[in-house]
Amino acid sequence: LAVFEAMKMQHEILAPVSGVVQQLNGQVGQQMAAGDVIMVIEEAEGA
């Protein structure tokens, strides 16, 4: 789903469901805290 960088290491984030990203809660270069909601996914029907 996405690749995030922390401490000069890249981390691949896999979506727990199939669907469409409805909302992104950050900008490129923005720092986020542990537990922050990064994005909201609307689950695809029949998934």
Q: Render pLDDT for 2-24 as a digit per residue (tens, 0 to 9).
A: 787 888 899 898 888 999 999 99
Q: Flag whether 47 is in a domain.
A: yes
Q: Flag whether 22 is in a domain.
A: yes
Q: Flag whether 45 is in a domain.
A: yes
Domain count, the chain: 1
The span from the CA of 27 to the CA of 17, in Å, is 23
What per-residue confidence (pLDDT) applies to 45?
Answer: 85
pTM over 0.95: no
* Residue-range definition of the domain harbouring residue 43: 18-47
Question: Does the pLDDT of residue 46 top 80, yes or no?
Answer: no
Q: Flag whether 10 is in a domain.
A: no
Question: And the tokens for 29?
Answer: 């270069």
